[in-house]
Amino acid sequence: MSATIEFTIDGKEIKGQPGQTILEAAQQAGVYIPRLCYMKGLTPWGSCRVCTVLINGRPQAACTQPIAPGMVVESSTDKVNALRRNIIDMLFVEGNHFCMFCEKSGSCELQALAYRLGIAAPKYPFMFPKRELDMSHPDVFIDHNRCIQCARCVRASRDVDGKHVFDFADRGAHRRIAVNAEAFLKDTDLAVTDKAAEACPVGAIVKKRTGYAVPFGQRLYDKKPIGSEIEAGVKS
Amino acid sequence: MVASTIGLKRVVIEPVTRVEGHGKVTILLDEKRQVRQTRLHIVEFRGFERFIQGRPFWEVPVLVQRLCGICPVSHHLAAAKAMDRIVGGEKLTPTAEKMRRLMHYGQFFQSHALHFFHLVSPDLLFGFDADPAIRNVIGVALKYPELAVQGVMMRKYGQEVIKRTAGKKIHGTGAIPGGINKNLSIQERDELLKDLEQMVIWSRAALKLCKDYTVEHLEKLAPFGSFDSNHLSIIRQDGALDIYNGGLRAITADGKKIFDHVDNQKYLEYIAEEVRPWSYMKFPFIKPLGPETGWYRVGPLARINTADFIDTPEAEAARKEFMALTKGKPNNISMAYHWARLIELLHAIEKIKELLHDKDLQGTDLVVKGSRRDEAVGILEAPRGTLFHHYKVDKNDQVVMANLIVSTTNNNEPMNRAIQKVAQDDLSGHELTEGLLNHIEVAIRAYDPCLSCATHALGQMPLVVEVVDVDGNIVDRKVRGVCE
């Protein structure tokens, strides 16, 4: 078996190692594939579909699909980015994402992806669901209005923290993040130092009393679009 | 108030133009065209006090400033002052307090410049009754281009000050509970110093223009929408004008103190609000005096009246000249608001100059914390007057109660008195013309109301005037600037 697997993304020749996913091999080669539910160190989940690419014309999640020799991958094309924009659009309208006062604004992956993909305003009608906050924990809070159900908190708590604080409850349109307690986050064993407390890509699980401490201009995505560090070859 | 409206004609000015936000005026006329009742109605409803309930307290300074796009800094800072107390960090570091003050003076500068040059100058330069086709900011730009440019550039300068202190020109995040999230870099300071002297020169000139106009037309302006009233503001411990910090001071129309240096946290012992069924805006009054005589004015006129002195030399000299007009007694002339406002404009740029040369702004000690509280009040002077923010926060850090008394709300009764007086003096017995109806709006503009804030939306500025007969039929209708 060859030590490297060769394939192409948007015509660019990529060399990866056996066992890598398309997203990992692309990242190693300095090619950014947009993603939300993927987080380094967590088991790939393949749920948000933002990393969708076309493999030999078929849509697949780049974060879960292993590379194979001779694959022809389409990623940064108008057709694929249109699919991604639709997904981001739907995520925005399905929750209550008020960027103008959200403390995650400027460092939010959902917002940063919208900017990168050129979404000025959602094209679908807002659903304005009625969702709650869980502020019961002394150091961390959940704002369900902003949850995109990426399951990063679920996997971080289970796989990294070894705690299983979060999981999903209910089904279909009613599906939501729930905590491993009768009702409230305070009754779980979540600690502010847990990976789960910092895994959220949006402002749904946030450390308390830290909001707005970073001024405009210095927030994560104020200077360069999301993915720039990968394209610049910065190893994470 | 009239006992019955039967048999009276109703004239409606809606919306009121060249003010911030959306409101209307109704005038009731009897058969002899005598004015029987005039009211300013605020027709917006916003509900901020309710929908911030349940939100994390540190979010409030950023969220609640969305009440307004003109002076969001006021709400940002008033809420931050309250949240300072919630986290026990009310004794700010010098860097934090001075950064906030710089932000606030920047806002005063831009807001006062906007009001004078864009909203008011058409009335003063062309006359209250001038052709509305030229009595507007475009008219000013065509006939007095240098003034129009000054207005734009002065507003821009104030916004640049805000950007460098709050991070953005509108709706920034600078103030956080217990402090500030940035200092002023040397580069930012030097960028602001570059145009500073020009701003001082233009501020002096604007003040002179307004003062000379007022003195020259005093005979006409003195009675125009004027009445005696109490005045209220915060005041520094030594009696100096202070727009960021101080106890509450209220004085009567002839200058006697009603209360002085009142602890902001105890405002509810001194101020109450009355609800009237025809307006979304409440009517505040000084509690011990009651609603009949306890109403008061706030804003530039009230602040110059309540202050013992101003701590910057040019504004202090201007204050003395202003007070000399009424022989040291409080000035109760509604149209003197403009003169007072421009004294504050000069004061604001003087303070900006003072602060830009203060090395504390480059400090790095930005935030303090102390013992947690569950209730706090933040009061400051917004460009339009005293602004009260009062919050309760539960043990989970969620806001459970919010009460906002905004500047324009404080001026509700005075604005109603002003338009009632103008309607009776100028409109009674006359054929109504657009020019005469503008007199009503001139009186309202003196108070620089922000109707968006007062109802806790952005309104449109066109005008529809309807004359309705006794049976409710529209007998006359004038429309300007409305897409129908």
| Tens-place pLDDT, residues B407-422 | 888 999 999 999 889 9
Averaged pLDDT, B230-243: 98
**Which CATH number covers residue A58?**
3.10.20.740
Q: What's the pLDDT band for B483 if we cut at 50, 70, 90? A: very low
Question: Is residue B117 classed as helix, strand or coil in its secondary structure?
Answer: helix
Contacts of B168 in chain A (CB under 8 A): 216
pLDDT above 60 (res B452): no
Name the domain boundary from A76, A95, A130.
Answer: A76
Secondary structure E strands in A135-180? 140-143, 166-169, 176-179
Averaged pLDDT, B306-318: 98
- Higher-confidence residue: B238 or B457? B238
State percent of chain A over pLDDT 70: 98
- For residues A161 and A110, state if they share a domain: yes
Closest CA to B280 of B27, B46, B14: B46
Looking at residue B10, what is its pLDDT? 82
- For residues A107 and A151, state if they share a domain: yes
Q: What's the pLDDT band for B46 if we cut at 50, 70, 90? A: low
Looking at residue B476, what is its pLDDT? 61
The answer, for A223 touching chain B at a CB cutoff of 8 Å, is no
DSSP string, B364-400: ---B---S--SEEEEEEEETTEEEEEEEEE-TTSBEE
- Higher-confidence residue: B20 or A16? A16
Nearest CA in chain B to A100: B63
Look at residue A81 and tell me if it is in a domain: no
What CA–CA distance (Å, rounded) separates B175 from B173? 6
- For residues A71 and A132, state if they share a domain: no
- Higher-confidence residue: B8 or B313? B313
Looking at residue B456, what is its pLDDT? 39
pLDDT above 80 (res A234): no
pLDDT above 80 (res B245): yes
Averaged pLDDT, B456-468: 41
Q: Do A209 and B397 touch (CB under 8 A)?
A: yes
Closest CA to A114 of A138, A93, A92: A92
- Segment B58-80, tens digit of pLDDT: 999 999 998 888 889 999 999 99
**Which CATH number covers residue A152?**
3.30.70.20
Q: Characterise A160 by phi-psi region: left (phi > 0), alpha (psi -120 to 50), beta (else).
A: alpha
**Pick from A70-79, B268-277, B284-293: least confident:** B268-277
Look at residue A222 and tell me if it is in a domain: no
Look at residue A95 and tell me if it is in a domain: yes
The answer, for A212 touching chain B at a CB cutoff of 8 Å, is yes
Q: What's the pLDDT band for B471 if we cut at 50, 70, 90? A: low
pLDDT above 50 (res A158): yes
Structural tokens at position B350 = 């003087």
**Do strands A5-9 and A72-74 pair parallel, antiparallel, or not at all (unpaired)?**
parallel
Q: What's the pLDDT band for B29 if we cut at 50, 70, 90? A: confident
Q: What's the pLDDT band for B455 if we cut at 50, 70, 90? A: very low
Looking at residue B32, what is its pLDDT? 83
Look at residue A236 and tell me if it is in a domain: no
- Segment B148-191, tens digit of pLDDT: 999 999 999 999 999 999 999 999 999 999 999 999 999 999 99
Q: Considering chain B, what is the average pLDDT of its residues?
A: 89
Task: Give B87→chain A minimum CA distance, Å.
Answer: 10
- ipTM attached to this prediction: 0.93
Structural tokens at position A118 = 């050129």
Look at residue A216 and tell me if it is in a domain: no
Task: Give B426→chain A minimum CA distance, Å.
Answer: 46
The answer, for A211 touching chain B at a CB cutoff of 8 Å, is yes
What CA–CA distance (Å, rounded) separates A94 from A172? 13
Averaged pLDDT, B135-153: 91
First to last CA, chain A: 28
pLDDT above 80 (res B31): yes
The answer, for A101 touching chain B at a CB cutoff of 8 Å, is yes
Contacts of B59 in chain A (CB under 8 A): 101, 103, 211
Looking at residue B460, what is its pLDDT? 30
Averaged pLDDT, B193-199: 98
Contacts of B397 in chain A (CB under 8 A): 135, 141, 208-209
Averaged pLDDT, A29-45: 97
- Give the closest of A101, A133, A213 to B66, CB-based: A101
Task: Give B274→chain A minimum CA distance, Å.
Answer: 32
- For residues A94 and A188, state if they share a domain: yes
What CA–CA distance (Å, rounded) separates B243 from B74? 10
* Chain A residues 136-195 with CB within 8 Å of chain B: 136, 141
Q: Do A103 and B59 touch (CB under 8 A)?
A: yes
Q: Considering chain A, what is the average pLDDT of its residues?
A: 95
Edge-to-edge strand order for the sheet containing B247-251? Answer: B257-262, B247-251, B230-235, B296-297
Contacts of B179 in chain A (CB under 8 A): none
- For residues A97 and A53, state if they share a domain: no
- For residues A46 and A65, state if they share a domain: yes
- For residues A65 and A119, state if they share a domain: no
Domain, as residue range, for A62: 5-76
Contacts of B69 in chain A (CB under 8 A): none
Looking at residue B18, what is its pLDDT? 64
Evaluated on CA atoms A26, A28, A33, A35, the torsion sign reads: positive
Look at residue A231 and tell me if it is in a domain: no
- Give the closest of B63, B181, B398 to A213, CB-based: B181
- For residues A35 and A101, state if they share a domain: no
- For residues A96 and A72, state if they share a domain: no
> Is-contact A38 A63, C-beta < 8 A?
yes
Looking at residue B40, what is its pLDDT? 84
Looking at residue B480, what is its pLDDT? 42
**Pick from A183-192, B60-69, B96-105: least confident:** B60-69
Burial of B237 (0-12, 13-18, 19+ CB in 10 A): exposed
First to last CA, chain B: 34
What CA–CA distance (Å, rounded) separates A102 from A203? 7
Sequence-distant (6+) residues with CB within 8 A of B208 are none
Look at residue A33 and tell me if it is in a domain: yes
- For residues A58 and A13, state if they share a domain: yes
In a mutational test of the B interface, the residue from A107, A135, A137, A145 whose CB has the highest number of chain B CBs within 10 Å is A135
Question: What does the H/E/C string look like for B69-102?
Answer: CCCHHHHHHHHHHHHHHHCCCCCCCHHHHHHHHH
Residue with token string 């699980």: A205
Residue with token string 């050129």: A118
Averaged pLDDT, B196-221: 96
Averaged pLDDT, B4-24: 75
Q: What are phi and psi of B428, to 5 degrees?
A: -55, 125
Q: What's the pLDDT band for B49 if we cut at 50, 70, 90? A: confident
- For residues A169 and A125, state if they share a domain: yes
What CA–CA distance (Å, rounded) separates A205 from A142? 5
The answer, for A10 touching chain B at a CB cutoff of 8 Å, is no
The total of structural domains in chain A comes to 2
> Is-contact A196 A153, C-beta < 8 A?
yes
Structural tokens at position B146 = 């240098």
Averaged pLDDT, A150-154: 98
- Give me the total of CB pairs closer than 8 Å, taking one residue from chain A and one from chain B: 51
Look at residue A219 and tell me if it is in a domain: no
Q: Tell me the β-bridge partners of B94.
A: none
Q: Where are the alpha helices (DSSP H) in B326-378?
A: 336-356
DSSP string, B221-290: HTTTT----EEEEEE-TTSBB-SSS-EEEEE-TTS-EEEEEE-GGGGGGTEEEE--TT-SS-EEEEGGGH
Looking at residue B470, what is its pLDDT? 55
Q: What's the pLDDT band for B453 if we cut at 50, 70, 90? A: low
- Higher-confidence residue: A191 or B442? A191
- Segment A70-126, tens digit of pLDDT: 999 999 999 999 999 999 999 999 999 999 999 999 999 999 999 999 998 889 999
pLDDT above 80 (res B297): yes
- For residues A29 and A72, state if they share a domain: yes
Averaged pLDDT, A13-35: 97
